[in-house]
Amino acid sequence: GEDVEQSLFLSVREGDSSVINCTYTDSSSTYLYWYKQEPGAGLQLLTYIFSNMDMKQDQRLTVLLNKKDKHLSLRIADTQTGDSAIYFCAESGSGNTPLVFGKGTRLSVIA
């Protein structure tokens, strides 16, 4: 079945860029998403990318998609302490709605 893999932890200094990586197995994945979860909260949609795109930029966020390698990354520029959270990569494809999530990457921002 489909699988989404992420590294579990990332630690960066405030003001640096963060890069969170994700790989997926479903070659029919059509939409790929990044969600953010803060402690005790639900999931907040950050951004998404359609599979026919290579890159999408939205303010401090840049998403890069390498469809050949099935690799997705989220870059957060000028990372702030408020960016500390768990970031989930998710894919949706094959005409089905259910999202398949990675285990999440816990981003810690050091002041």
Residues lying near another protein in the complex (CB under 8 A) = 30-31, 33, 35, 41-45, 48, 50, 88, 90, 92-93, 95-104
Closer of 14 and 93 to another protein (Cβ):
93
Residues 64, 89: Cα–Cα separation, whole Å: 12
Of 79 and 90, nearer to another protein (C-beta) is 90
Cα-based torsion angle of the residue sequence 81, 110, 15, 64 in order, rounded to the nearest 10 degrees: -80
Least distance to another protein, CB of residue 18, Å: 21
CB of 35 to another protein, least distance (A): 7
Least distance (Å) from another protein to the CB of residue 14?
A: 27
Tokens 């500390």 correspond to what residue?
84
Q: Which two tokens stand for residue 44?
A: 């907040």
